[in-house]
Amino acid sequence: MTRVSRLAVAGTCAVAAAAMAVSVPAVAGALPFGIAHRIELAGGSPVAALAFAADGKLAYAAAGDELQGFEVATGAPAALVKSPGTVVALASSPEAGGTLYAAVGTPARLLFLSQRPLRVRSSVAVRGGPPSGLLYEPGEHALYVESRVGRSVTRLDSRSGKAIAVAHLQGAPAQMAGDGRGTLYVANTATDAIDVIDTDKMMGIGAIPTPDCHAPTGLAVDPVGRRLFVACGNGTALVIDTDMGFAFEQLPIQKAQAQRTVFAFHPGGPGGWKGGAFIAGDGPGLDAIRMNAFISYASGGSMPLSGRVTAMAVSPSAEQLWIAIAPREGSGATGSAAAVGESRQESAVHILALAGSGGGAP
Amino acid sequence: MSGFMNRLRAAGLCAALAGLALPAAHAALAPWSALAGKTVLFVTGGADSPTPNDDTRVARHLEQLGLVVHTVDAAAPASDADGTALIVLSSTANPHVLGDKYADTPVPVFTWNTYDYPNLGLTGPVLHRDFEVIDPTQHYADSFAVLYGYGANVTSEISRTVGLKAQLFGTLYLEPETAGWGRPGPGGTVIADFNGMSDHAAVFTYERQASLADGRVAPARRVGFYLGDDDFHLLTAAYGPAANDPNMRSWAIGLKLFDTALRWAASPPPAMPAYDPSALEATLRHAARGRKLLFVERKDAGEGAEADEHIVAHLRGLGFTVTVADQSDPQTMAQGQDLVIVSGTCSKWKLANKYADVSIPLISLEGLMSDTMHFSGYDRYVDYGEHGEERESDDPAENYLDIVGAWSPMAAGLKPGLVKFATDPGVLKWARPLPDAIVIATLPNEPQERAIFGYPKGARMAGGFVAPARRALLPLDNPTYDELTPQGSALFDAVVLWTIGD
């Protein structure tokens, strides 16, 4: 593993984006975030999941059967733990002095780890199929384990690991998000809708259609729980008012088949955006939706990337957005030198820690 | 033999009449399935359209509704509408290019081109008075107000299909938007308005053969809608769990209102009734059989006593079982009755508030009781008034009415325009009902002074009163019944027939 720390400024990315304008179907201006660290990972396994500790001081990456901890401030490695299987999803909570949850695909288990030091504390078997996603809801002391293969979401007690209930899904579940107030949303690529689950009963209570937004995969909800950010395969993103189930904003993004979405208020610190949703996957780059006001959104810019994004996490505490990048399939290890100002031609598995330019709205 | 033949003919007539339904307040909507495959002419600004705009979205939506969309620009000839089921006019089309080319087209028009409203005769010609477009640039504060509509009419087919209530609803999603309003003429029906002001109509309609604001007659249905260039996608709707929330479902109705108003426009209008007093009387005779009617009059009336006697005789002759009550008799007289008619001989002072809330249909022949009957507001000579009463009215005596709702059975098949109602000029009363009323006639040159109108059952009347049964105003001052022309008599019968037709 090598680490390159350099506090790139927003201008770096702007130049990079401009250089990529021909090959990347950029839909907006340059993303006003710069590279705080570039962390290269040895081993070649793509990063399946990223998570921040609640205080924003540590970040975790799951690659293959390794769980790695990093100091957010420096990008320096802080810990390494072996898992009994390939970790497919991570979540973090402040419970018990800081807990990291890791979903293992095969055998299907959920690991409970202490964060300082990073150690496996316990584990439980997971029913409902091999896990594919993990979500922690602090207000509910709940963990939601999604299985796309098993078409299910299992609710567990985040303290005991006890399974409480399972919701069975139809179609093709993709990313899930929760509002922390008893509602879970699951993107459904097969039905062009967001399935809505009542977490008390773990039962579906409806579906929100995603008009003009086909094959939704990426999904995030703001911490208030009233805005859903949806990324769709046809190059469209939606902002949905959850109280009405109404998609009131439609924005262009880059086309991709498997996208993830994350959202945070003040993602670049208090002087930056009021809020931002970030979208990336197997497309050519990273897109952002900027929250101007609670009812006003605009394209926040895009950033061409040298590979596909396999994981993302954002932390307002850390004031950073981390994205894990792996070589595109079939593309070898090549990438664009211009992409995000990276000086190296190869695009091995690595993590980019992005920070807002701060000091006023980008 | 001739007696036998008469009985035979009567039996045949009765059999025929038995198949006749009493007049409905409004014509039913066609199901979507009946409109599938119909062609819509969608007129936009084409290459000259302002951007951004939602025309592409609208076209796709219409196609999703099963319609075949033929898009043309504003300069296209009106003949492009030949054979189409509906013309849809976008606000992106330049109204000066559109002109009045579709005004006389016997194809329904659904438009959100507010500036084109006067060209179509939907409103008067004066900007800000007759129509207006509110936009965030010119009218930033008002552009928030148009995010809220008010259910002005709750009984039209559009209103009932949408579930429109006499309350606020969300028109467009939550950011200041562009929206237009119009002030339709008395032949129009205001479905929803802005700020609770019916002369700022957000959604309004004209039935075929209704009189337009400019005096012309609607050759087919017309609908004005509040949209701007690029806010179709912001028409409110509730999805997912919110769709199961009754409050949200009745709030977020913008898209449903659009769809339903469009469907109404494309639906077949009711058949225009023919002017045939004999057939009308025969129908009324059939409907009157077995019905009990309370006629409330001033029994010691001088001037109008004879006319009252003739009214009662006519009603009895039709087959009603008529009970005559004095104005001072208690309202309990209405118990067991099917219809109440309040004579113009009654004193407003003596009748007081009686019969206003009876649960059976009611006709008032006295326009000055419009306030007590909840027909209009309380401001005398503003909300209701009269022509021709010495020392009580500045307006001259009148004996003509202007038929503006010829499409309704209440109009007796009379053609739109002036009709001689009484033989000689005299007192004629009027009122300004709420938008739920179906307006049949106004005083000539006084479009705001509505002489004949009816409220359907469930209509929102003045003061928040909800009509427990049909209500109608037919202005017959004390002796006027005896002075009715044949057309006036036909209007009398038509109003009675409509009012008992719940």
Report, as an integer, the average pLDDT of B404-411. Answer: 97
What pLDDT score does A27 carry?
A: 42
CB contact under 8 A, A244 and B234: no
As a whole number of angstroms, the distance between CA B93 and CA A88 comes to 54
Q: Which of A194, A243, A250 sits opposite B242 (nearest CB)?
A: A243
Angle (CA) A21 A49 A214, round 5°: 55
Nearest-5° angle of CA B7, CA B12, CA B18? 120
- A265 strand-pairing partners: A275
What would the two tokens of residue A275 be? 């809020």
- The nearest alpha carbon in chain B to A240 belongs to B239
Confidence of residue B75 (pLDDT cuts 50, 70, 90): very high
pLDDT at B84: 98
Q: Which of A12-16, A269-273, A312-316, B255-259 is the least confident region?
A: A12-16
User: CA A85 to CA A108: how far, in whole Å?
Assistant: 9
Most confident residue range from A95-104, A322-331, A347-356, B386-395: A95-104
Q: What's residue B26's pLDDT?
A: 77
DSSP bridge pairs for B174: none
A323 contacts A280 by C-beta, under 8 angstroms = yes
**Contact yes or no for A244 and B175 at CB 8 A:** no
Q: Over pLDDT 70: what percentage of chain A? A: 86
Which residue of B175, B234, B240 is in closest CB contact with A245?
Answer: B240
**CB-based contact, A244 to chain B, within 8 Å:** yes
Q: pLDDT digit string (tens) for A159-195?
A: 999 999 999 999 999 999 999 999 999 999 999 999 9
d(CA B339, CA B337): 6
Residue of B nearest to A242 (CA): B242
Using CB atoms, pick whichever of A196, A211, A248 lies closest to residue B174. A248
* Section A119-146 average pLDDT: 95
> Out of A11-15, B188-192, B261-265, B420-424, which region has the weakest mean confidence (pLDDT)?
A11-15
Question: What is the number of residues in chain B?
Answer: 502
Whether residues A208 and B240 touch (CB distance < 8 A) is answered with yes
Interface test with A, best of B239, B250, B256 (most A CBs within 10 A): B239
Which residues, 6 or more positions from A262, have their beta carbon under 8 angstroms from its beta carbon?
Answer: A220, A277, A278, A312, A313, A314, A321
Do residues B278 and B453 make contact, with C-beta atoms less than 8 angstroms apart?
Answer: no
Is residue B471 within 8 A of residue B462, CB to CB? The reply is: no
Chain-centroid distance of CA A44 in Å reads: 20
Of A196, A205, A244, the CB nearest to B248: A244
Q: Measured between beta carbons, which residues in chain B are less than 8 angstroms from residue A216?
A: none
Q: Which chain A positions have a beta carbon within 8 Å of B246's beta carbon?
A: none
A317-321, B10-14, B429-433 — which is least confidently predicted? B10-14
**Range name among B254-263, B370-379, B384-393, B446-455 with the lowest pLDDT average:** B384-393
Chain A's closest residue to B57, CA to CA, is A212
Distance CA(A192)–CA(A187), nearest Å, equals: 8
Radius of gyration, alpha carbons of chain B: 24
Is A134's Cβ below 8 Å from some Cβ in B?
no
Contact B109, B120 (CB under 8 A): yes
Peptide bond into A107 cis (omega under 30): yes
Hey, what amino acid is at B434?
L
A256 burial (CB, 10 Å; 0-12 / 13-18 / 19+) is: buried
Tokens of B209: 């053969």
Do residues A243 and A277 make contact, with C-beta atoms less than 8 angstroms apart?
no
Element (H, E) at B275: none
User: What pLDDT was estimated at residue B326?
Assistant: 97
Find the mean pLDDT for residues B390-419: 95
Give the nearest partner residue to A245 out of B174, B234, B238, using CB atoms: B238
Residue pair A105/A91 in contact (Cβ under 8 Å)? The answer is no
CB contact under 8 A, B239 and A244: yes
Q: Does A294 touch chain B (CB under 8 A)?
A: no
B272 or A280, higher pLDDT: A280
Q: Is A250 on the interface with B (CB under 8 A)?
A: yes
Residues 174-193 of B with CB under 8 A from A: 174-175
pLDDT at B143 over 90: yes
Average pLDDT over residues B260-286: 96
Closest CA to B333 of B318, B349, B317, B346: B346
Closest C-alpha among A211, A215, A161, A152 to residue A184: A152
Using the beta-carbon criterion (under 8 Å), do A296 and B175 form an inter-chain contact? yes
Closest CA to B488 of B434, B445, B440: B440
Distance from the Cα of residue B125 to its chain's centroid: 22
Q: List residues bridging with B452 in a β-sheet.
A: B441
H-helix or E-strand spanning residue B133: strand B131-134
> What is the dihedral angle through the alpha carbons of B192, B196, B198, B199, rounded to the nearest 10 degrees?
-120
pLDDT of residue B21: 56
Best mutation target, A244, A250, A292, to test chain B (most B CBs within 10 A): A244
At residue A339, the pLDDT reads: 54
pLDDT higher than 60, residue A26: no
Query: What mean pLDDT is predicted for residues A275-293?
Result: 96
Say whether residue A331 is in contact with chain B using an 8 A CB cutoff. no
- Do residues A239 and A248 touch, judged by C-beta distance below 8 A? yes
Give the type of residue at B62.
Answer: L
Q: What is the Cα Rg of chain A in Å?
A: 19
Q: Pick from B174, B233, B243: which is nearest to A245 by CB?
A: B243
A209 touches chain B (CB under 8 A): yes
CA–CA dist B13, B24 (Å, integer): 21
Q: How far apart are CA A222 and CA A183, in angstroms?
A: 13
When CB atoms are compared, the residue of B241, B244, B252 closest to A246 is: B252
Which residues in chain B touch residue A212, judged by CB atoms under 8 angstroms apart? 57
Contact A208, A196 (CB under 8 A): yes
Interior/surface letters B246-276, b for 16+ CB within 10 angstroms, e for the rest: eebebbbbbbbbbbbbbbbbbbebbeebebe
Centroid of chain to Cα A177: 10
User: Would you call B245 an interface residue with chain A, using a CB distance cutoff of 8 Å?
Assistant: no
Res. B17: pLDDT tops 70: no
Q: How many CB atoms lie within 10 A of CB B26?
A: 21
pLDDT digits (tens, 9 = 90+) for B24-47: 777 789 999 999 999 999 999 999
Closest-CA residue of B relative to A208 is: B240
Residues B433-445: pLDDT tens digits?
999 999 999 999 9
pLDDT at B158: 97
Contact assignment for A194 to B240 by CB distance below 8 Å: yes
Q: Which two tokens stand for residue B192?
A: 């929803």
**pLDDT at residue A11 above 60?**
no
The alpha carbon of residue B435 is apart from the nearest alpha carbon of chain A, in Å, by 29
Is the model's pLDDT at A116 over the cut of 60?
yes
Of B57, B234, B239, the CB nearest to A245: B239
pLDDT over 90 at B106, yes or no:
yes
* Residues of chain B contacting A246 with CB distance shorter than 8 Å: 173, 236-239, 242, 252
Chain B residues within an 8 Å CB radius of A250: 233
Residue A359 has pLDDT above 90, yes or no: no
For B385, residues 6+ apart whose C-beta sits below 8 A from its C-beta are: B367, B368, B393, B395, B429, B430, B431, B449
Helix (H, G, I), strand (E, B) or coil at B464: helix
Any chain B CB within 8 A of the CB of A206?
A: yes
| Tens-digit pLDDT profile for residues A57-90 | 999 999 999 999 999 999 999 999 999 999 999 9
Spatial distance between the Cα atoms of B261 and B29, rounded to a whole number of angstroms: 10
Give the pLDDT confidence of A301-355 residue by residue, as tens digits: 999 999 999 999 999 999 999 999 999 876 554 444 445 544 444 469 999 999 9
Q: Average pLDDT of A283-307?
A: 94
Distance of CA B397 to the CA centre of its chain: 26
* Amino acid type, A102: A
pLDDT at A340: 52
A282, A218 in Cβ contact below 8 A?
no
Question: Residue A65 CB: number of other CB atoms within 10 A?
Answer: 15
Q: For the whole model, what pTM was predicted?
A: 0.90
Q: What percent of chain B has pLDDT over 70?
A: 95
Contact call for B248 and A296, based on CB within 8 A: no
Is A296 in CB contact (< 8 Å) with chain B?
A: yes
What mean pLDDT is predicted for residues B205-226?
A: 97
pLDDT of residue B392: 82
Contact in structure between A93 and A114 (CB atoms under 8 Å): no
How many degrees, rounded to 5, is the angle at CA A274 between CA A273 and CA A279? 65
Instruction: Give the C-alpha separation, A317 to A315, whole Å.
Output: 5
Cα angle A349, A351, A352; round to 5: 135
Quote ipTM for the complex.
Answer: 0.86
Strand ranges in B18-127 using DSSP code E only, listed in sequence order: 39-44, 68-73, 86-89, 109-111
Pairing of strands B292-297, B321-326: parallel
Task: Report the chain B residue with the minimal C-alpha distance to residue A296.
Answer: B175
CB-CB neighbors (< 8 A) of B241 in chain A? 183, 196, 205-206, 245
pLDDT at B481: 96
User: What is the per-residue pLDDT for A127?
Assistant: 87
- Contact B241/A248, CB-based, under 8 Å? no
Contact B20, B279 (CB under 8 A): no
Residue B84, number of CB atoms within 10 A of its CB:
20
Three-state secondary-structure class, residue B81: helix
- Number of neighbouring beta carbons within 10 Å of residue A175: 26
Evaluated on CA atoms B414, B417, B422, B427, the torsion sign reads positive
- Rounded-to-integer distance, Cα B91 and Cα B104, Å: 19
Task: Measure the CA–CA gap between B472 and B200, rounded to whole angstroms.
Answer: 25
Is the Cβ–Cβ distance between A362 and A34 less than 8 Å? no
The residues, ordered by sequence, that sit 6+ positions from B363 with a Cβ below 8 Å of its Cβ are B339, B340, B341, B342, B471, B472, B473, B474, B495, B496, B499
Residue B122: count of CB within 10 angstroms of its CB: 30
Average pLDDT over residues B133-147: 93
Q: By the CB < 8 Å criterion, does A230 face chain B?
A: no
Q: Which chain A residues have a beta carbon less than 8 Å from that of B173?
A: 241, 246, 248
pLDDT in tens, B279-325: 999 999 999 999 999 999 999 888 899 999 999 999 999 999 999 99
Mean per-residue pLDDT over chain B, rounded = 94
B349 touches chain A (CB under 8 A): no
Identity of the residue in B175, B239, B241 whose CB atom sits nearest the CB atom of A246: B239
Reported as a pLDDT band with limits 50, 70 and 90, residue B1 is very low
- Contact predicate A278/A293, CB 8 Å: no
Q: CB under 8 Å to B37, separation ≥6 — which residues?
A: B66, B67, B68
Instruction: Give the pLDDT confidence score for residue A1 in this predicted structure.
Output: 47
Dihedral angle of Cα A173, A175, A178, A182, to the nearest 10 degrees: 10
Asked if A241 lies within 8 A of B173 by C-beta distance, the reply is yes
Res A6: pLDDT: 43
Task: List alpha helices for chain A, DSSP H.
Answer: 10-19
Task: Name the residue in chain A with its Cα closest to that of B247.
Answer: A244
Contact between B240 and A241 using a beta-carbon 8 Å cutoff: no
Number of H helices, E strands in chain B: 13, 22
Structure tokens at B190: 């205001």
User: Which residue's entry shows tokens 């309350």?
Assistant: B167
Mean pLDDT of B176-188: 96
**Residue A3 pLDDT class (50, 70, 90 cuts):** low
